[in-house]
């Protein structure tokens, strides 16, 4: 017994004609005839007296039709309730963000989200990418913001933006007139400052730079991009940073890459079972509104994988 069969029965009771009922249900007449017959065989009695014209319900059929109407009405109310619940942003949600994104993105969107959705509680914490993947699999968090693609079968990815990498070197690392740099030039440079192991951003930078490590006698690796920038400012060398990490107060030599630029793809990710699309869409719109317009898709960008 299916809900579709019950709908066919109610249509037949309404129109008392197989062809008309089939048209109203947007199916062929044989389809509705076969499905009602199957239902009658399953329940063990005739719902309609087909010897009459127009057809009419049997005595047991009348009772069955009344029950069917109640069931379909309750199913409709249940669907409406679920729809309202899924469209409701109220509640508490757990969000994990990788450190190289959270420091620059979360302060931009927190105020507006708090103002627009006062009954929505977002518990945001920093996690490394592999930790986010594991937490999503265990359903310990609801949403992650990190660099994609992940290529995990249980994860849904919603792309947000492409963020370019920026060269950050000590003042006078190059001639002041130098405004752009190519990936080929980067591969031949020494003394790069890197994030500590475990950060996907470190792996991306190594992929861009040809896996060069710092050759200075001080081998400092940090979990903070701001710390690396300060090492560059005070000790020389260079690093690569995401564009949102560049600040007007920076004293280093900031150089943009030539086309095609190396970028990182930033996405919202969630378990396939997460059903609050209204929350995902709200977050997506807030993030896109508060990130630079230049981060829009660009087919000439180079996607730098971290895994």
DSSP string, 111-137: HHHHHH-TTEEEEEEE--HHHHHHHHH
Given a cut of 80, whether residue 205 has pLDDT beyond it is no
Instruction: Decide if pLDDT at 302 tops 60.
Output: no
Work out the number of other CB atoms within 10 angstroms of the CB of residue 262.
Answer: 20
Asked if the domains 91-161+266-294 and 162-262 are classified in one and the same CATH topology, the answer is: yes
Residue 171, pLDDT score: 84
Residue 200 confidence class, pLDDT cut points 50, 70, 90: confident
> What band does 185 get if pLDDT is binned at 50, 70 and 90?
confident
Burial (CB < 10 A; 0-12, 13-18, 19+), residue 13, is buried
Average pLDDT for residues 263-269, to the nearest whole number? 92
Task: Flag whether pLDDT at 219 surpasses 80.
Answer: no
Q: For the CA atoms of 221, 226, 229, 230, what is the dihedral angle to 10 degrees?
A: -90
**Chain mean pLDDT for the chain:** 85
**What is the average per-residue pLDDT within 4-30?**
91
Domain positions in the chain are 3-86, 91-161+266-294, 162-262
What pTM did the predictor assign? 0.67
Report the pLDDT value the prediction gives residue 220, as an integer from 0 to 100.
57
**For range 249-262, the mean pLDDT:** 88
Which pLDDT does position 84 carry in this prediction?
58
Q: Looking at the domain 162-262, which fold is it?
A: D-Maltodextrin-Binding Protein; domain 2 (3.40.190)
Across 27-52, average pLDDT:
92
CA 74 to chain centre: 33
Q: What are phi and psi of 268, to 5 degrees?
A: -80, 135
pLDDT score for 299: 38
Which distant-in-sequence residues (6+ apart) come within 8 Å of 82 by Cβ? none
CA nearest to 164, candidates 143, 188, 187, 180:
180
Contact in structure between 133 and 152 (CB atoms under 8 Å): yes
> HSE of 176 in the Cβ direction (CA atoms, 13 Å)?
2
How much of the chain is helix, strand and coil, in % rounded to 5? 45, 20, 35
Q: Which CATH class is domain 3-86?
A: mainly alpha
Phi, psi of 25 (to 5 degrees): -95, 0
pLDDT class of 144 with cuts at 50, 70, 90: very high
301 confidence band (pLDDT: 50, 70, 90): very low
Architecture (CATH level 2) of domain 91-161+266-294: 3-Layer(aba) Sandwich (3.40)
Q: Which has the minimum average pLDDT: 103-112, 191-200, 231-240?
A: 191-200
| pLDDT score recorded for residue 239 | 86
Q: What is the pLDDT of residues 97-132, one digit of tens each?
A: 999 899 999 999 999 999 988 888 899 999 999 999
């Amino acid at each position: 017994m299916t809900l579709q069969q019950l709908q066919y029965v109610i249509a037949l009771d309404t129109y008392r004609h197989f062809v008309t009922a089939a048209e109203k249900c947007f199916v062929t007449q044989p389809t509705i005839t076969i499905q009602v017959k199957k239902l009658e065989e399953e329940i063990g009695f005739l719902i309609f007296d087909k010897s009459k014209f127009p057809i009419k319900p049997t005595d047991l059929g009348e009772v069955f039709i009344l029950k069917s109407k109640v069931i379909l009405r309750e199913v409709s109310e249940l669907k409406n309730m679920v729809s309202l619940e899924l469209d409701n942003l109220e509640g508490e949600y757990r969000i994990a963000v990788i450190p190289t994104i959270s420091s620059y993105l979360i302060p931009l969107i927190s105020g507006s989200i708090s103002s627009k959705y006062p009954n929505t509680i977002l518990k945001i914490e920093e996690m490394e990418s592999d930790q986010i993947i594991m937490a999503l699999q265990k359903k310990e968090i609801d949403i992650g913001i990190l660099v994609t693609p992940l290529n995990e079968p249980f994860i849904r990815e919603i792309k947000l933006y492409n963020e370019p990498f920026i060269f950050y070197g000590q003042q006078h690392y190059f001639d002041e007139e130098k405004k752009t740099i190519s990936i080929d030039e980067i591969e031949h440079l020494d003394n790069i400052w890197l994030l500590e192991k475990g950060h996907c951003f470190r792996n991306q930078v190594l992929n861009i730079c040809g896996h060069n490590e710092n050759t200075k006698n001080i081998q400092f690796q940090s979990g903070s991009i701001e710390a690396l920038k300060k090492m560059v400012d005070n000790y020389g060398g260079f690093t690569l940073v995401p564009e949102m990490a560049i600040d007007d107060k920076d004293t280093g030599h900031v150089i943009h890459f030539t086309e095609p630029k190396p970028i990182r793809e930033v996405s919202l990710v969630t378990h396939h079972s997460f059903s609050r699309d209204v929350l995902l869409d709200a977050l997506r719109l807030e993030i896109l509104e508060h990130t630079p317009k230049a981060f829009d898709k660009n087919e000439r960008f180079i996607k730098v994988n971290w895994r």
